[in-house]
Amino acid sequence: MSDQDDEYVYDEATGEWRPASEVEAENAAANEVRDAAGNVLADGDSVALVKDLKVKGAGQTLKQGTVIKSIRLTDNPEEIDCKYEGIKGLVLRTEFVRKR
């Protein structure tokens, strides 16, 4: 076998055998976390809010343009963990943030 031979995996969605590298690339693209503008987010990024958000249980509102530093990605691609002064365990939906 040559170095260019690729391992193949069965794709149940299409019913075809496909190169493993191709399937892995598609899965990586599907697991990307994107903000409201479509930018890819990563751990440690800073984001700004795109609208005013009432924080349940904290009794305060985060205003549009508020910058949140050092976000952490979660298992859910639509949510990010954040730290903000006075609010513990803040989780924001990615549709309400924009990468800075």
pLDDT (0 to 100) of residue 30: 67
Q: What's the rounded Cα separation, in Å, for the pair 1 and 22? A: 20
The residue type found at 60 is Q
Mean pLDDT of the region 9-36: 84
| Same domain flag for 21 and 45 | no
The CATH code of the domain that includes 80 is 2.30.30.40
> How many structural domains are present in the chain?
2
| Same domain flag for 40 and 67 | yes
| Same domain flag for 42 and 62 | yes
pLDDT (0 to 100) of residue 1: 42
Domain range enclosing 92: 34-99
pLDDT interval class at 86 (50, 70, 90)? confident
**Taking Cα atoms as reference points, which of 6, 94, 83 lies closest to residue 50?**
94
Mean pLDDT of the region 16-20: 91
**Higher per-residue confidence, 13 vs 4:** 13
Q: What's the rounded Cα separation, in Å, for the pair 22 and 73? A: 24
| Same domain flag for 45 and 25 | no
